[in-house]
Amino acid sequence: EVTLNIRGMKVIIKEGNILTCSGWKVIPFNEYFDTQVDDVIIAHSSLNGKYIDSLGDDDKKALKLAIAADQKSPLQRYDSSDGTKTRYELGTIKVFQEVMMLALTHFNEQNEAHTNRAEYEHTLRKMWKEIRRTHQGKSIYIPLIGGGLTQLDDLTEKPNEQLLKCILCTLRTSNVTFDENVQISIILTKKALETVNLYEVKGGK
């Protein structure tokens, strides 16, 4: 692992399983905050799917209720074309237990989660503001956002190191500041870590 200082804020990048971390965990969802894990809407192999699969039946019901009831976000909401769902602006965060659910991707008619590079960066900047709004002084754990099954329309490949640098860059250039006692950790899977040179990332701060 490596530790960075970004505008006085401590940021740790390390290997781990974000689902076992104790504190706020950021988990990406699509713009509808869908919870149907069936390898069509949400893949069981995705972080989103693994998180929902880890919940018991009662918690899954409570999750759906929490998504519907949480209207605290200042970001815009839109009715879907068929009127059956509510679509949220990318960057919106909803809270359930110790999880910050992040609207990261659009969802098309082929059930594909997608965004593009410009939207991805814009979403991350809004994400930092949303985290600041909701974190309540607790530690924050963030995965390699966009590194899973998310499709970036204007990129043929998604080098993990570039995604990591983008996450750090958007924090650095945002106006968001966290208290010095708040630890921000970016959690990489072992597979992702093998594709990232942490010391180069630290040196490029």
pLDDT one-digit tens code per residue, 89-111: 999 999 999 999 999 988 877 77
In three-state secondary structure terms, 30 is strand
Given a contact cutoff of 8 angstroms between Cβ atoms, the answer to whether 169 and 7 are in contact is no
Give the per-residue pLDDT at 7: 92
In three-state secondary structure terms, 126 is helix
Average pLDDT taken over every residue of the chain: 88
Task: Give one DSSP letter per residue of 35-54, joined into a string.
Answer: --BSSSSB-TTSHHHHHHHT
Closest CA to 132 of 195, 79, 177: 177
Give the per-residue pLDDT at 81: 63
Question: E strands, 7-122, where?
Answer: 9-15, 24-30, 77-79, 86-88, 93-96, 99-107, 113-115
Residue type, 133: R
In three-state secondary structure terms, 112 is coil
Residue 116 has pLDDT above 90, yes or no: no
Higher pLDDT, 85 or 99: 99
| pLDDT, average across residues 131-158 | 80
Task: Give dist(CA 31, CA 73) in Å, integer.
Answer: 13
Residue 149 has pLDDT above 90, yes or no: no
pTM of this structure: 0.90
Q: Cβ–Cβ contacts within 10 Å for residue 167, how many?
A: 24
Tokens standing for 74? Answer: 């200042």
Closest CA to 89 of 33, 34, 128: 33
Give the per-residue pLDDT at 112: 74
- The burial class, CB within 10 Å (0-12 / 13-18 / 19+), for 63 is buried
